[in-house]
Structure 1
Amino acid sequence: MRCRWELKWHKFGLSHHRPASFGTAQWQDPDKISIGYVIYRFVIFIYFWSFFIYNLLNDYDTNQISYYMIYLTNWTYLSAIVDIAVQFLSALTAAFRSRNGIKPLVPHWLYKTHWVIVNISHTIAPLVTIMYWGGVFPFLDYPVTYADLHLHLLTTLYTMADLFIHGTPRRYHHVVYPLAFGITYLLFSIIYYLCGGVDGSGNTGIYPILDWAKPGLSTGTAVAALLLVLGLHAATWGAVKLRLKLHGKWRGKQVTVEAGFDANGEEGGGGAAEGSSGAVTSSGDVTSSGDVTNGERDAYISVDIGDSSGRAGRAENRKDEQDAGKRKAFDNAGLVDDDGAVNSPNSGDRTQIV
């Protein structure tokens, strides 16, 4: 079976073959509850939401609350804490459903909501950090406060670290969501200026580098910001790819390969009716099961390349042990279903593709 890469329009969507990934850590056993991961999500939730309430009360006391929503920093922080709340809820839901044997571990509406927000917060947070310290802070005449560090640095450090902890997948196609977020803010800033809006000090510019009374400077800032979004989303996509590679090296037993099929079993072809479905057998046949988009579907093929402990390809001193390990790796080759279970090609089982 040949594997090929191409830009598929359905990749801009939010359907995924394994919803459990959105409520579990990359490093936990996917078939068991990770109390440590649930505690981690709880601590992050308490810390960031506590700061949000504190900062909101502080703005209220200093009469800055009226200008809270004019700043991109606050838009981004709101997206971050909503994502943190959704991730905490996803972890709790996955733990509860795992304990009670309910599938999928994370409901579709929940993981799709998380997938949109995480793409926004994890891409825009580093954008805010770069633009604040590089283009805004040098114009300010007051010392650095904890609030500055939290909003413009610690939040970004958290998002970068979280990329290597949670199990949420990443598609570069989803750059459309942070781009839409950024364009929405830019349109808001233009409308705010045209309506005579000012900041708390009476300035027309929300930021020194975003003042539509100086259209050349603001246009340059807008273009640079949108280009940064493209680059930063690529960086987060690469970070997730690195996380998966490290997981496969240190803990993984499976290699996932993505390929396109139509309902007739031809790779990458069209012509399948929407709503039809398909399955792949160990022999490579495709039968009907799951959703089809524009005649194409994704097959997720997982191959166990190690022993039952997950330490794949460990060399032994004696040749007979090496040969046994090779036979074990070959015998364990199989297809993964949407619950993550591996079916042996010798068993004759069929694996559903969703």
Structure 2
Amino acid sequence: MKSFSLSDLWVSSHERLSDFYLTSWQRGDSPVPMLVIRLLLATIMTGIFVWSITTSPTPYWLIYLTNWGLLMVTLLTLSGTVVSLLAVCKQLPDGAALPWYVSIYWLFYNIAITMAIIITALYWILLYNPEQREQEGFWLDLATHGFNSCVAFVEIAMARTPIRLLHIYQPLGVGLWYAAFSGIYYAAGGTDGNGNPFIYEILNWAEPGDASIIVAITAASLIVLYTVLWGVSLCRDRISTSLIRTTSLELPFAPPDRHSPSGMV
């Protein structure tokens, strides 16, 4: 069993660098399949991002959690594409320390996949109005509250990127940071684009009790979701390893120490 290290709390160490640029569903060690997938995802998310900021060119764009999530997923796909491109251009050996650009990608991965799904759930459960189908912005709402989660799920399902329970504080921290921001924004007299004294009506800090309940429920849901995603990644790895993956990039097995009794360390 791998011993715990403080470095495990951050995104700076992992035994197989190849886990960040190979797909779970390939034989061999070519980074090209994952590069193709990530180029497609990055193109989709960059298009949605540009669509969003050009459709609503407003200084209020960054106050919305939806747009925080959109930005995170876009950065996830772009940073993942950079990792795959560099893996194609130069050899990235297993066992080496993670390069800074891989750590950045891993951080965005931990945050973005969880935020995307939480944002999608919050929108369709609490905010969606069926009458919006007749409005001009419906398709953009669908893209920013639906396609974002689809992109995140494809990245989870296709990549080998690990999910560690120890990293749960990363998406949770961003979520709590947004909750704190919304409260400070309200206290400072901030409004939404329509002049309302809140960013989202369900997160109206004029009613701090109700707003706090929403924050608590969302935080608990995020913890549950991250745990589920961790389980999904474990199942993905076990299934793909047993059925498809080659093990050419696995670290060599370390034999027992001859000088320790019964081979035990």
Give me the TM-score of the superposition, normalised by structure 1: 0.66
Letter in 2 for 1:219: S
Cα distance between partner residues in 2 of 1:214 and 1:222: 13
Aligned counterpart in structure 1 of residue 51 of structure 2, from 31, 48, 54: 54
Cα deviation for residue 205 of structure 1 reads: 2.0
Aligned ranges 1:210-289 → 2 under 5 Å:
210-252=203-245, 281-284=254-257
Indicate how the Cα distance of structure 1 residues 151 and 283 shifts in structure 2: closer, same or farther if over 3 A, else same.
same
Contact 2:168 2:223 in 1 (8 A): yes
Aligned counterpart in structure 1 of residue 151 of structure 2, from 145, 148, 158: 158
- The answer for the alignment partner of 2:181 in structure 1 is 188
The structure with more helix, counted as a fraction of residues: 2
Cα deviation for residue 280 of structure 1 reads: 7.5
Cα deviation for residue 252 of structure 1 reads: 3.7
Indicate how the Cα distance of structure 1 residues 253 and 25 shifts in structure 2: closer, same or farther if over 3 A, else same.
closer
RMSD, aligned α-carbons = 2.5
The structure with more strand, counted as a fraction of residues: 1
- The answer for the alignment partner of 1:19 in structure 2 is 17
Indicate how the Cα distance of structure 1 residues 157 and 31 shifts in structure 2: closer, same or farther if over 3 A, else same.
closer
Letter in 1 for 2:109: V
Letter in 2 for 1:224: I
Cα deviation for residue 188 of structure 1 reads: 0.7
Contact 2:17 2:98 in 1 (8 A): yes
Q: Which has the larger radius of gyration?
A: 1
Q: Does 1:147 align with 2:132?
A: no
Cα deviation for residue 161 of structure 1 reads: 2.4
- The answer for the alignment partner of 1:32 in structure 2 is 30
How many residue pairs get aligned? The number is 251
- The answer for the alignment partner of 2:122 in structure 1 is 131
Indicate how the Cα distance of structure 1 residues 96 and 213 shifts in structure 2: closer, same or farther if over 3 A, else same.
same
Structure 2, gaps ≥5 residues long: 260-265
Q: Any idea what the Cα deviations from partners look like across 1:34-61, whole Å, max 9, x if unmatched? A: 3x3322211211121012112211112x
Aligned counterpart in structure 1 of residue 107 of structure 2, from 113, 116, 136: 116
Cα deviation for residue 221 of structure 1 reads: 0.5
- Other structure's SS at 2:158 match: coil
Indicate how the Cα distance of structure 1 residues 95 and 199 shifts in structure 2: closer, same or farther if over 3 A, else same.
same
Letter in 2 for 1:191: I
Cα deviation for residue 141 of structure 1 reads: 5.3
Cα deviation for residue 6 of structure 1 reads: 7.9
Cα deviation for residue 89 of structure 1 reads: 0.5
Contact 2:25 2:245 in 1 (8 A): no
Indicate how the Cα distance of structure 1 residues 281 and 199 shifts in structure 2: closer, same or farther if over 3 A, else same.
closer
Cα distance between partner residues in 2 of 1:84 and 1:223: 29
Runs of 4+ in 1 over 6 A off after TM superposition: none
Indicate how the Cα distance of structure 1 residues 213 and 33 shifts in structure 2: closer, same or farther if over 3 A, else same.
closer
- The answer for the alignment partner of 1:80 in structure 2 is 73
Indicate how the Cα distance of structure 1 residues 33 and 67 shifts in structure 2: closer, same or farther if over 3 A, else same.
closer
Cα distance between partner residues in 1 of 2:84 and 2:120: 28
- Other structure's SS at 2:227 match: helix
Aligned counterpart in structure 2 of residue 177 of structure 1, from 164, 170, 183: 170
Cα distance between partner residues in 1 of 2:215 and 2:170: 17
Contact 2:9 2:167 in 1 (8 A): yes
Q: Any idea what the Cα deviations from partners look like across 1:153-194, whole Å, max 9, x if unmatched? A: 111122122211011111011001001101111111011000
Identity percentage over the alignment? 25
After superposing the two structures, state which structure 1 stretch, 213-222 or 18-27, moved more: 18-27
Cα distance between partner residues in 1 of 2:3 and 2:31: 36
Cα distance between partner residues in 1 of 2:124 and 2:254: 55
Give me the TM-score of the superposition, normalised by structure 2: 0.86
